[in-house]
Amino acid sequence: MRGFCLVQAVRIHEDGGPEVLRYEEAPDPEPQAGEVLVALRAAGLNHLDVWIRKGLPSVPKPRILGADGTGVVAGLGHGVEGFEVGDRVVVNPGIVHDGRITVIGEHTDGTYCELKAIPAAQLYPLAEQLSFEEGAAFPLVFETAYRMLVTKAALQEGEWVLIWGIGGGVALAALELCRALGARTIVTSSSHDKLERARGLGADVAVHHSDEDVVEAVKEATGGAGAAVVVETVGEATWERSLAAAGHDGRVVVCGATSGHSPPARLYRLWWKQLVIYGSTMGTPADFEGAYELIRQGRARIHVDSVFPLADAAKAHERLESGAQFGKVVLRIPG
């Protein structure tokens, strides 16, 4: 047993804007059987953190936010094997139990802190070529995108994929995975700069979704066939166009609805084009490992937009909510 002390963490005690994020002392965790004590060095931000901060009734308070993290093993609970003090590790935030996926930072305290006790099954060695910040930038979004594209949509080499809102974490992860797996991509954004950067990363077609007709652009790129797969994260603002852009037997995979949850839909598109709609959230250990292997091999790249000190978590949230980021916003944790 270690002596009781306090560590620095970012917690919420109430719902609200970035101003409710408190940089404060929290109890020093003690690893239980099967857990590893990790001295965290970086935590990646996700829109999940924003939703929790704004108010999810199922999340008790106070709560330490953060699903993604990397760090160094600082202690081992009883029965833990395969890790040693000093090992660099990355956290898989999705915990699967009885077929249900729970998420670190939502269902338990998260990674916006100096020390955290984490189940050993959720930890993987951090690849040598990755910095702590890079390692904290990939788990949730790459796991999510891999499950959408590979596990759900069964993406095949050469297929066309429509990805809305390039620049966000899931969208960029989807672009990288498509490139690694030999699929062709059509990306959209309301930013000309983001579209140009996406072209530089290998996007085949880049469409300004405010100035151009996305559905027509998809038809032109695919020779009239439409997209085989649509990565849908936006919801209300894009749903009707997603169904219109999908080709016959197309697969529309949904993991979020940042613009709203009640979209209009012309239902005839579903049966006329024999569309399949998949709901997808997070992923299993197999999804995490599949995505991580492509990263380790150098076939998929991680994109970090900006790095903030842990104490400036509110500023980091403001950056994420601005929509200006291209890649992941990350917190650097002192240690």
The pLDDT of 142-147, averaged and rounded, is 98
Looking at residue 222, its pLDDT comes to 99
Annotate 167-202 with b (16+ C-beta within 10 A) or e (fewer).
bbbbbbbbbbbbbbbebbbbbbbebeebbebbeebe
pTM over 0.75: yes
Tell me: pLDDT of 269 over 80.
yes
Name the superfamily (CATH) of residues 141-279.
Answer: NAD(P)-binding Rossmann-like Domain (3.40.50.720)
Mean per-residue pLDDT, 85-89: 99
Task: Give the closest residue to 65 by CA, choosing from 316, 302, 292, 256.
Answer: 316
pLDDT of residue 190: 94
Of 31-35, 55-59, 125-129, 163-167, the range with the lowest mean pLDDT is: 55-59
pLDDT digits (tens, 9 = 90+) for 182-192: 999 999 999 99
97 compared with 330, residue with greater pLDDT: 330
Residue 101: pLDDT band (50, 70, 90) is confident
Which numeric CATH code is attached to 6-137+302-332? 3.90.180.10
Domain residue extents for the chain: 6-137+302-332, 141-279
Q: Which two tokens stand for residue 128?
A: 């040598």
Number of CB atoms found within 10 A of residue 204's CB: 16
Tell me, what DSSP letter sits at residue 278? E
Q: How far apart are CA 304 and CA 224, in angstroms?
A: 35
Supply the mean pLDDT for the chain: 95
**What confidence tier does 102 reach under pLDDT thresholds 50, 70, 90?**
confident
Statement: residue 39 has pLDDT above 80: yes
Token look-up 């603002």 returns 237
Q: Residue 311: helix, strand or coil by DSSP?
A: helix
Is the distance from CB of 5 to CB of 288 less than 8 angstroms? no
pLDDT at site 4: 56
Average pLDDT over residues 222-246: 95
Q: How far apart are CA 258 and CA 47, in angstroms?
A: 9
User: Which pLDDT band, with edges at 50, 70 and 90, does 335 fall under?
Assistant: confident
C-alpha distance from residue 272 to each of 275, 276, 327, 334 (Å): 8, 11, 37, 56
How confident is residue 88, by pLDDT bands cut at 50, 70 and 90?
very high
